[in-house]
Structure 1
Amino acid sequence: MVIKEERVLHMVGGGGETSYAANSRHQEKAIYRTKPILETAIAEMYRRTPLPERMVVVDLGCSWGPNTFLVVSEVLGIVGDLCRRLEQKPPEIQFFLNDLPGNDFNNVFRSLERYEKKMEEEKGDQLVPHYVVGVPGSFYGRLFPCNTVHFFHSNFSLMWLSQVPQGLESEQGVPVNKGNIYIAENSPPQVVKAYQEQHRRDFSTFLKSRYVELSIGGGMVLTFLGRRNKHPANDELSYLYGLLAEALNTMVSQGIISEDKVDTFNLPIYGASMQEAKSVIEEEGSFDVEKAESFESSWDPFDDSDNVLNGKNVASTLQAVMEPLISHHFGDATPHALFSLVADNITARHLLKDKCYYTVLVFALRRKA
């Protein structure tokens, strides 16, 4: 399956039990974890360039829910504190919230007034003046005029590819990645190569686009899922998506979905290693790396000791980001049964014995002159 419709690539909307808004604690924890890096990056930007009267900040892959405005709040607090220390008047900040057209922007803007009221009550006269607008479109391409953005932020988005890698289609009627939906131990080398090349192209395009849009002295903080191990098939992401593939194959054996449907489904996602990501940055050549680090985050965002609940927590966070892709390919009736199986598999086969962790990569980049 080669996904070409960007409207399919979005999180579960609304505010229900399986919505992204209710299942995005991983992303929230990462925002708080990377706040010191964000603070340093913005301070360094101010050190390099004169304090602007108007500052443009973009959150790429903003999604919706409380985390969308948490990013806005963190940036406002950082800029406000910095300006008070420098005894300078804070700039007016224009926030652009970007995501694909299928994003639930309606929920974002319905909650904007509530957010603004809360911020005014908490900050009073110390609230940095700001304005928030939405920008639909893929960040794997241009989104803004040349030299107009001061700072880009992205959290848990850049592991998504622009499309399923090409070259995974069946060869002479035989599926290339049969029974798998991502890189697995039994995936042939061409599958690994296809994913790596797609990631390299996409990340390079991303960097080229941001370089043109950033003003001189501008920067970015990028946080996304990656991996620890050298080979993609030997890491936790591969294991997790293997559990999802196993649940799909169980539904094949039960006659609920067809085998062909599974064999033609591959995820448009890639967990790069730190070295892979650094290599693309160095080869593309538009940015200096000011900071590069990684940390681990438990599969279960609540770290609950109840193993049954752990499995449900992991499956719920997975469903919140995968359900639109699953529904598009397998039908709307599939996700509920599928993620119940995933929860059972995780509980019975893994979390009773040990916990698993995502590897999260963080980069602070500075635009070269």
Structure 2
Amino acid sequence: MDTLQILRMNGGEGETSYAKNSVVQRKIMSYESPSIEEAVTDILCKNFSETMGMADLGCSSGPNTLTLVSEVIDMVNSKSQKMGFSLPEVRVSLNDLPGNDFNDIFVSLPTFYQKQEEEKGKGFRNNCFISCVGGSFYGRLFPKKSLHLVHSSSSLHWLSRAPPRLAVDAAVPLNKGKIYISKTSPSSVSKAYLSQFREDLSLFLKSRSEEMVPGGRMVLSFLGRTSADPATEHGGHQWELLAKALTSMVSEGRVLEEKIDSFNAPYYAPSLEEVRNEVEEEGSFVIKSLKALEVEWDAGFQTDSACEIQENKRKISSRGGRVAKTIRAVVESMLESQFGRDIIDDLFVKYAELVDDYFSRTTPIYINLVLSVTRKGP
């Protein structure tokens, strides 16, 4: 499965869009702020120049995208003034796969610039230059030594492809009835996923090392796990429940069993140790910090009063319903490609029910890893 062809967040501003259902990702981004601020300070102290290159990889679309840009610009301005530097021009490159809704970003830019100039002064437009770059971050995207700061949030758990070792004859499925690593999966499945993750992360790091200036900083946030067990619930139970929802539709004659057996999510939630080992082995970066944070499955919905008001208007009565919309906004394109458009609405009704049942028995959490690294010298 080529992720480049089938992975994209739901575009637009509709009820199932990523823009309307990305509060969990927004909550995760809020946890990154201390690491980003430390990185910005370090860059200005060691690599100050008249221009600063920044890239946000896997930016998607919707309100989260430009919120991050605004926060980074605020940090750059504040730190520069405290250090007695003139404000540098910041070149911001927003990257995602070609199927991303870049139109949404372009349409929102005039309003973004107007708001920023009202808050920060008329000079903002002359200090911040935003462009979009379509393409996979598992490969080169930018000129050599053009970036000082690289950021990526809720993206690197997506692999460049599902592990090819799992693409065997459907008559002998390696991961029968599952779409990700499960307690019942043979060890060959988890080994195949780890191998693909290592290959992808190594390529990601190598590509960024060529694009970043020596001493440049990178802050990466993605779903992972603290357990050594790749089948731990915190590592991917959302996929286990999705497999159950799909399996329930087999008996209804709406989903073919072999379609489930041949679908493997292009996703991997690595452990802290797996991330550390790969960064050290690739060798281009020094780890400044690597930490794991817990995030509830419906985080953000509980604290964002404006969002709660909107959700009540939409008559979403359960936590499972909110989680289902969040997951749907992210994986719908993949599922539609494999199982067809007709089942999607009913599939996520079933999924919401399974998530509600799971909430009744436990408090589901994601483990979010935050990695901050420095590009080694020349």
TM-score scaled to structure 2, two decimals? 0.93
Check the 8 A contact 2:170/2:258 in 1, yes or no: no
Check the 8 A contact 1:53/1:91 in 2, yes or no: yes
Q: Which residue of 2 aligns with 1:46?
A: 44
- Residues 307-341 of structure 1: CA deviation (Å, up to 9, x unaligned): 95100011111001000000011111122111110
Check the 8 A contact 1:315/1:339 in 2, yes or no: yes
Within the alignment, does 1:365 sit opposite 2:350 as a pair? Answer: no
Partners in 2 of 1:64 and 1:108 — Cα distance? 6
After the TM superposition, which residues 82-101 of structure 1 pair with which residues of structure 2 at under 5 Å, given as runs? 82-101=79-98
Give the letter aligned to residue 147 of structure 1: K
Partners in 1 of 2:190 and 2:256 — Cα distance? 25
- Residues 315-369 of structure 1: CA deviation (Å, up to 9, x unaligned): 111001000000011111122111110001111x211232111000001110011
Q: Secondary structure at the match of 1:238?
A: helix
Within the alignment, does 1:303 sit opposite 2:302 as a pair? Answer: yes
Deviation at 1:173, TM superposition (A): 2.0
Partners in 2 of 1:251 and 1:20 — Cα distance? 25
Q: Which residue of 2 aligns with 1:190?
A: 188
Q: Which residue of 2 aligns with 1:321?
A: 330
Deviation at 1:169, TM superposition (A): 2.2
Within the alignment, does 1:60 sit opposite 2:30 as a pair? Answer: no
Within the alignment, does 1:282 sit opposite 2:315 as a pair? Answer: no
Q: Secondary structure at the match of 2:99?
A: coil
Q: Which residue of 2 aligns with 1:32?
A: 30
Partners in 1 of 2:123 and 2:170 — Cα distance? 66
Partners in 2 of 1:177 and 1:309 — Cα distance? 31
1:112 is matched with which residue: 99, 109, 112? Answer: 109
Partners in 2 of 1:272 and 1:315 — Cα distance? 23
2:358 is matched with which residue: 334, 346, 350? Answer: 350
Check the 8 A contact 1:229/1:235 in 2, yes or no: no
Within the alignment, does 1:330 sit opposite 2:329 as a pair? Answer: no
Partners in 1 of 2:302 and 2:199 — Cα distance? 36
Give the letter aligned to residue 15 of structure 2: E
Partners in 2 of 1:92 and 1:110 — Cα distance? 23
Change (3 A) 1:5 1:272: closer
Give the letter aligned to residue 97 of structure 1: L
Q: Secondary structure at the match of 1:46?
A: helix
Partners in 2 of 1:198 and 1:172 — Cα distance? 21
Between 1:192-201 and 1:294-303, the stretch displaced more is: 294-303
Check the 8 A contact 2:3/2:266 in 1, yes or no: no
Change (3 A) 1:310 1:168: same
Deviation at 1:234, TM superposition (A): 1.6
Structure 2, unmatched stretches of 5+, are none
Give the letter aligned to residue 346 of structure 2: A
Partners in 2 of 1:72 and 1:179 — Cα distance? 42
1:224 is matched with which residue: 222, 225, 234? Answer: 222
Partners in 2 of 1:28 and 1:303 — Cα distance? 13
Between 1:208-217 and 1:301-310, the stretch displaced more is: 301-310
Give the letter aligned to residue 35 of structure 2: I
- Residues 8-32 of structure 1: CA deviation (Å, up to 9, x unaligned): 1111111111110111111111222
Between 1:58-67 and 1:20-29, the stretch displaced more is: 20-29
Q: Secondary structure at the match of 1:233?
A: coil
Across the two proteins, how many residue pairs are aligned to each other? 365
Give the letter aligned to residue 311 of structure 1: G
Q: Which residue of 1 aligns with 2:142?
A: 144
Deviation at 1:303, TM superposition (A): 3.4
Q: Which residue of 1 aligns with 2:67?
A: 70
Q: Sequence identity of aligned pairs in percent?
A: 42
Deviation at 1:34, TM superposition (A): 1.2
Q: Which residue of 1 aligns with 2:121?
A: 124
2:9 is matched with which residue: 8, 11, 19? Answer: 11
Partners in 2 of 1:362 and 1:70 — Cα distance? 19
Partners in 2 of 1:101 and 1:147 — Cα distance? 24
Partners in 1 of 2:206 and 2:302 — Cα distance? 38
Give the letter aligned to residue 242 of structure 2: L
